[in-house]
Chains A and B, each alone.
Chain A
């Protein structure tokens, strides 16, 4: 069971956290909305909940709640540039189908 970051993604997260001036890590999760079932969430973490699972990847603390983990276990988070747009990308091995835009998915 693990969630990992690519090196580029980790560098970005570190930079954003440093700029923000506070926060202990990055939270990955899913919520049940969206056009195709589930949607990813990506947030800064200021405090952990007791049930949270925590991973370490390239020096960045990745935090996931156990309910989300079952949907995204094995995910690698990457940072990518597409034209002028740049941002984080979930590479989730559990996904069977995603909506056209890729913001939500089903398993």
Chain B
């Protein structure tokens, strides 16, 4: 789109984004855990503990339930691959990663949905009650989060006349006043609710519980071991980073590199890290202060997000 981007620099950005997401994901989780522990008056494990955990898991044996088919080992691979495709193509650090023209918001949503569906299928393939329970609950929440998410995307896309991610970000950089309009604020709230629900955080799901009656996401990965478990855990944290970065770039785009050069990229890297720290700390603080919602209260939360997103779309039409 903008000139001055060479193929090499664009590919370098994509590569950098992929590395950022792979390394940043576990670090973000570690950081959030640290914040939680500090607030609860504990010291907590070091920030890089999730990375150490991943290394430990990678060295363990892979197992497969005897009744499972090839879907079971394939599911973590698809889950990670979908997230990596998004990480490579979406404008996380710069507005022009390689193939940035193909980074469509709707396409990103459907890609992430493919990852969720494949994990749910992997869970059902184990043939256990836990797998089915987790898959059923995760897909119910996913199905109800989808409308809120797509309508919120619509609210962002209408003023930009495009659902192309770089286009939306470049437009909002050019018109900073546009970021404070009511539709932006409404869409922001809807987005945050959906992200919390989709990434299985409190108050929708508690990632640190293994209690049968309440777990959703954890129930789906019970049968995975060794590198497979590492992949599922990694994908979970990568998705959180991707969603957080997209959220930050869509609503507070300053800092993202709009032209090539190591200096711009360094700024982008630093600002992205800063935004992730702020968002991660905010979510961690929020998680300490709220209790988990009952499963059947979650639809009300998501319906609220849908209403906010619809209001956002309507206000794009009312507010010029």
Tell me if chain B binds chain A: no
- B-binding residues in A (CB < 8 A): none
- A-binding residues in B (CB < 8 A): none
